[in-house]
Amino acid sequence: MTGAPFSTHHADLAGLSDRGRLRALSPRAGRDFASNDYLGFATHPALAQAAREALARGVPLGSGGSRLLRGNHPEHEALEAEAAAFFGGPEFSGAALFLPTGFTANSALLATMPQRGDHIFVDELIHASVHEGLRLSRAGHTLVPHNDVAGFADALRAWRGANATGTPWIVVESLYSMDGDFAPLAELSALAEAHGALLMVDEAHATGVFGPGGRGLLAGLGPRGANTITLHTCGKALGVEGALLVGPSVMREFLVNRARGFIFSTAPSPLMAAVVREALSLCEAADATRADLLARVEYARTALTPLGAEGHGSPILPLVLGGDVRAMAVATALQQRGFDVRGIRPPTVPEGTARLRIVITGHVRQQDIADLATALAEVL
């Protein structure tokens, strides 16, 4: 006798509930210590005005198809040209490609660009979107302990020592979204150069916040090498939507021809492409906004690290509480006090490291941070 329809799904959800891991959608409420709108651009009047002006000149809301059919719009092409120049620098001769989300961009890139015989060396705390690309990739992969440059070097030497002849890839985030710490990019860049490896850096949480003009942490190291690919999401500090892959021109051409996540997806909204162009201009001129944000980050470190939060100098300050139930109970108690702080549980983070992900955004002031510290001390 067969089971009732969806019986396994109901059982799976019940198991999640028993372990304190059942997720549910909830409305935004309270002071924002949860979003990735680091600079507060999502409600910036300049971006709203850019949308109005684009609509007035006839830019459509929807693309109407994939980029390879009728979905390609001049706004997509203009954004990609501007993004290549913005993130690549004056000596850069590569290209950019605009995709609907950072998840799509990472998974499409890793599923498509590495070839059979290549090998992908990945930080063990890399985002789920990269793991999706690894699952679909024809290349093998190795998980390397977090931020362990020597571990990457040893893994590369072991792979080459087994008579491997393909191209190695080193894949990291510049700023890790759940731990708030930074990758040792200078050392990893030198390692990639020494081993003839391609360096792929997910700048999702650094774009807009770090680097010259908000170009990301890799840009802070100087002119980018020809062996680098970066991902810049547009829906975090840039305040809009979509993602940009920036790399050698062959990357763009190959993805256009081979990436199923690009070929078979309806193109992003041309209106969003137009507003992202304005967001890049806004970002470059936002040094004062970045300085103000980082000053509040430093204040948050002072206020929250005595309570157990980890502060690495980024807007993300995790407070690891261990148990799933405890993390969610503390998050709920803070929400009831008017602070939008979210609990993060496995599998998003490793087992036994359920946490609060406290984020300093453009929507909170120093007094909000002080109030959160007081409430957190009471709840803990």
Please list the active-site residues. 36, 127, 173, 177, 202, 205, 236
Classify 10 as helix, strand or coil.
Answer: helix
Dihedral sign for Cα 80, 229, 107, 204, please. negative
Using CA atoms, how far residue 95 sits from 77, 220, 252, in Å, is 11, 19, 6
List, in sequence order, every residue forming a beta bridge with 187; answer none if it has no partner.
none
Between strands 119-123 and 168-173, the pairing is parallel
Instruction: Give the position of tokens 């491997």.
Output: 164
Joined together, the tokens standing for residue 226 give: 């020809």
Beta strands in the chain (DSSP E): 31-32, 95-99, 119-123, 140-144, 168-173, 198-202, 228-233, 243-247, 316-322, 339-340, 342-344, 354-359
List, in sequence order, every residue forming a beta bridge with 143; answer none if it has no partner.
122
Work out the burial of residue 35: count CB atoms within 10 Å of its CB; fewer than 13 is exposed, 13-18 middle, 19 or more buried: middle
Angle between helices 270-284 and 74-88 (to 10 degrees): 30
Please give the full DSSP string across 289-331, using - where no structure is assigned: HHHHHHHHHHHHHHHHGGGT----SSSEEEEEEESHHHHHHHH
- Report the alpha-carbon distance of residue 229 to residue 113 in Å, rounded: 11
